[in-house]
Amino acid sequence: MQADSSPFKIILGSSSIARRKILAEMGYEFTLMSADIDEKSIRKDKPEELVMALAEAKAGAISQKLPLGDYTKDAVEPTLLITADQVVVYEGAVREKPSSKEEAWEFIKGYSGRQAATVSSVLATNLKTGIRKGGWDRVEIFFHEIPDETIEKLIEEGNVLYVAGALIIEHPLILPLVKDVMGTTDSVMGLPKALTEKLIKEVL
């Protein structure tokens, strides 16, 4: 369904460029808001529980900034708030954004010749009705050997320092080194299209 024919509005609660790009590819128009939350203060044992809790915390923080009375009036079209989160799982351990260049190096070096998984959550909240639905998606990624000079270039460029697990598989330096992906690239980039579409339909 194209945005111009949609009887609803969307707020994407994310500062991620990749998520913006994916939602635009899906044919939606949207406004942007970002949530200021202390992600490190939210801890869960399972990666799936953690990404859902973080998406919920982001939705809560953004909702507090909004004049919710304006969204619940009978005459207004529904506005959907979409929040998301992602972690990388490597050898059973959860990896969020690296805290330093050294940690980013360690993360990427670890993927060399091995595998990692991304766990991505999406939460859709209908601000008019209060209906909220969420879900998560997991993708397994298998890598060829990653040369040290490639890691150096990635860290020098800096984008890997701002993403979960320092992992950007669509990066031109990494893409040729990806052996196999069991799942979808949009999910690895942080917004699984099929799940997002399903949740949008469920909350309308």
Neighbours of 157 (CB within 10 A): 12
Instruction: Give CA 105 to chain center in angstroms.
Output: 22
Residue given tokens 């111009």 in the structure block: 4
The SS3 call for residue 12 is strand
What distances in angstroms separate CA 109 from CA 80, 88, 137, 169, one per listed residue? Answer: 39, 14, 25, 14
Spot the catalytic one: 85, 137, 148, 180. Answer: 85
Cα(143)–Cα(88) distance, rounded to whole angstroms?
14
Of the candidates 191, 192, 148, the one whose C-alpha atom is nearest the C-alpha of residue 173 is 148
DSSP 67: -
* 138, HSE (Cβ side, Cα atoms, 13 Å): 11
Q: Is residue 180 among the annotated active site residues?
A: no
- Contact present, 87 and 94 (Cβ < 8 Å): yes
DSSP 79: E
Active site residues: 85
